[in-house]
A and B are shown apart, each in its own frame.
Chain A
């Protein structure tokens, strides 16, 4: 087997040195009746070529986003990632290193985590950011639990503009933990009355902006009302590129900002691995979940970095920990950090403008299609349209024409007639004028 350095001579010599006759003696603690005598009922070893053949065959059955005009967003976005990023994250020293528990020989990882935390804090305009969560949805679940710890209350209010699957993650976790969740109905236009839901029992209000439907939400009045009732505002985003162009939640009064960082440095990967961004105010840092990297000095006074405030974490505090999280998204953070340092403020701002500009162009084209109504007035790079037909059917028909057109809201929110014709559409820098024209032409055909 190509990955195993021991040969049979090694094995028999080593068994002799260990003092056993056969390797099975080393497994003697496994009760005899459950110790396997034969092999697992699975195929035997395969050459590199054979594995490649089988997996390539599976991959080729899928339509890659880059091979068609592509307009699906709704929490994961198709962006161009510079070649440098993928090269660097495959450096052995990054790829095959463990969590930096021995800081003297993992300064590489620790320094990029420190750069990552700084980038995220600046993007969100918050005081501190952690070294990542698994993704935006699980980060949102953790943010709600954190708000419960901070406020010592357990009622969360979720906006109807929150990504439905984020909502489900929060609801699942809260229900299991015995907490209360008030989820408002789907709100494509950002016109819900969330303020009246906030009371003295509320621990937090969770609002996504731009919303799942693309609508920009004014967070300031929500923050104000929440703070009047000593509740926290958790601001959520799924498109981190938006922060290059729109006012961050940090300056709008959010207490925790959590979101998905996939767009920067990370591919679509059918939903994972992604990277959850998590930032908060300095005063709440000791209630934060996840790993934190901090600056310090070594015995010779040289600057260095270490994992810190680990007394919050499970390996020290066990059942008193702020979260059970251990492994997070190390390599995805690295991809994020490299891509973001390549962009810099100048590049990110421009990238965000191009995204917004492409969405504006697409919106105009779609608004011109007979029977199509655009629901959002203020948006970043995605928005929702109402079709004269069931959106799921339209999307299938467009897919048959080689266009991947967006997300029918009913896929995530089935059974709600009001949402059946809604389609969430995204346009990023990868879309060309030809892509947009192809989409609009095909849509006209399908709706005709």
Chain B
């Protein structure tokens, strides 16, 4: 063994390989257990120094709060450490490949963060005089331009706050258009493979959802569609179709679908969640789409932030453009005008209402425009091509071992496997996903779409290098072979190496504990008190 001059060993030496100490703290080296703020903060502590408050006057009309609020406070170093420690229990794009199908977990450039924090964007109030924010209107108009050109559409409703909110906006525009035409159709068609938000949105607006069957290849069955349209003649408001669909396939018959829908006096709503596959390769307006939301937090790289904020502008065809909600920007000879109220509208502008207070997700607009400008027309197309190439590279790397439900055909930006390759192994899709965690990967989307059994939907995005994909494919192959060899323990109890083992979701739902409550003080029994 090597020693330094004080006798401190400097080589690893012969240390026990398997011994895992049970630590006093529960920590495992860098892997820290962290209490809730309520368990170590105090009501007296504050980490914000505020000016002394000399005013003793209250004009609250007798509504002064008297009871404790019960908010724990932390000094700044405590808060810093607490949230840094929490952050280390999270998987993130910046720490590894995040192949969550349908979620487009691509790199989030930090230039975008920097731009969104310019005081001229971050520190402007939505209701300060319009004359004091011309650059904000410029930015929104510029992004709108990029979105409309990318989709070949006539208008864009910018304000929706996320994808599902965009769906709602698009479907409200469709409903408004029907109403304006004196129609009141009751049915919205939704393919089986759709995101859950599609039927939920349609139902929210009082529509009856009628499901459209898929063909054996996972795309919409035109004959079934024709039959359904005929069955409900005159009563169909529209179709909500994801394209590329959630099976990772482009709907080849999309133009026929659009024609059939239009012939039925209905509208074509496209769920734009998968737009990343086709930016610069095909424009939804050319496919007959009437409305499509664009998830800026997917396609255009604004960070997912652990579940938002998103942003879901909706591009609209010429037929739907007049119904775009408030607010919107009008181009005039004198420049841009912000239209915020019904009273300010002109002939031909028939907004169906308003989706949200103010003007939408400005912070996300800046980031998305920064992304789009950085890529440019050439970079946007390249990104889509790389995203599709990467997905196909994963597909060919795994198709001999895993099972493609629709045969060996090219996919778009994500590749879908079913669980038939796991048949008789005793390993489920869930087990397989959890074993990926031990290998340092975030699992793919699982059990979605619902149209294939035990679905595994892998979307690597264009942000992955070839070396990263090679390692991912090799890891997946190792896992598959391990499952096929019957090494079920690697899967059934996984993850073993994450901050937590599998969590009891059933128990959580049965007796929901949705907030922290002070534990009751331990009861002192008379016997113990003696």
Contacts and interface: CB of A to CB of B under 8 A. Distances in A.
B448 A96 contact: no
Contacts of B109: 3
Interface residues of B, number: 209
Interface string B81-96: 0111011111111110
Given A43-B377, A109-B307, A348-B71, A353 B343 contact: no
A417 interface: no
B291 to A, nearest CB: 15
Given A169-B355, A378-B63, 17 more contacts: A5-B466, A23-B385, A40-B381, A56-B118, A97-B305, A106-B91, A114-B514, A118-B36, A121-B514, A246-B64, A296-B507, A316-B196, A318-B196, A326-B162, A327-B297, A354-B51, A378-B59
B67 interface: yes
15 contacts: A42-B377, A45-B376, A62-B132, A62-B136, A76-B125, A104-B498, A114-B515, A135-B356, A176-B353, A272-B361, A300-B501, A308-B514, A341-B72, A346-B46, A346-B73
A60 B303 CA distance: 24
Interface string B502-530: 11110111001111100000000000000
B146 interface: yes
Contacts of A302: 26, 500-501
A235 to B, nearest CB: 12
B87 A94 contact: yes
B357 A294 contact: no
Given A107-B500, A347-B46, A351-B48, A51 B370 contact: yes
Nearest to A299: B501
Contacts of B395: 18
Q: How large is the interface on A (under 10, 10 to 19, 20 to 34, 35 or more residues)?
A: 35 or more
A50 B379 CA distance: 15
A293 interface: yes
Given A175-B353, A344-B43, A338 B389 contact: no
A6 to B, nearest CB: 5
A261 B235 CA distance: 42
Contacts of A172: 172, 325, 352-355
A108 B91 CA distance: 9
Interface string A37-75: 001111111101011101111111111111100101011
Interface in B43-82: 43-48, 50-51, 53-55, 57-74, 76, 79-80, 82
Contacts of B131: 396, 399
A258 interface: no
A275 to B, nearest CB: 8
A404 B90 CA distance: 42
B128 to A, nearest CB: 5
Interface stretch (B1-9, B226-234, B248-256, B479-487): B248-256
B278 interface: yes
A308 B509 contact: yes
Contact of A331 (B308, B355, B462): B308
B221 interface: no
A173 B26 CA distance: 50
A86 B325 CA distance: 32
B201 interface: yes
B529 to A, nearest CB: 30
A107 B304 contact: no
A5 B462 CA distance: 8
A20 B45 CA distance: 64
B222 interface: no
Contacts of A191: none
B493 interface: yes
A325 B118 CA distance: 30
A99 B197 CA distance: 15
Contacts of B132: 62-63, 399, 404
A448 interface: no
Contacts of B27: none
B426 to A, nearest CB: 18
Contacts of B121: 55, 58-59, 62, 269-270
Interface stretch (B98-106, B260-268, B314-322, B417-425): B98-106
Nearest to B369: A55
Contact of A344 (B34, B73, B379, B396): B73
Contact of A270 (B34, B103, B126, B465): B126
Given A58-B135, A106-B90, A270-B124, A354 B410 contact: no
B92 A52 contact: no
Contact of B495 (A104, A216, A268, A327): A104
Contacts of A168: 326, 353-354
A145 interface: yes
A21 interface: no
A121 B512 CA distance: 15
Nearest to B117: A86
Contact of A1 (B34, B278, B379): B379
B386 A6 contact: yes
B48 A343 contact: yes
Contacts of B405: none
Contacts of B313: none
Given A26-B388, A360-B59, A93 B38 contact: no
Interface string B176-213: 00000000000000000001110111111110010000
A404 B202 contact: no
Interface string B235-263: 00000000000000111101100000000
Contacts of A247: 63-66
Contact of B93 (A96, A105, A331): A96
B69 A345 contact: yes
Given A18-B392, A114-B36, A5 B464 contact: yes
Contact of A298 (B353, B377, B504, B515): B504
Given A29-B249, A135-B357, A34 B309 contact: no
B437 A105 contact: yes
Contact of B356 (A90, A169, A175): A169
Nearest to B250: A29
B46 A55 contact: no
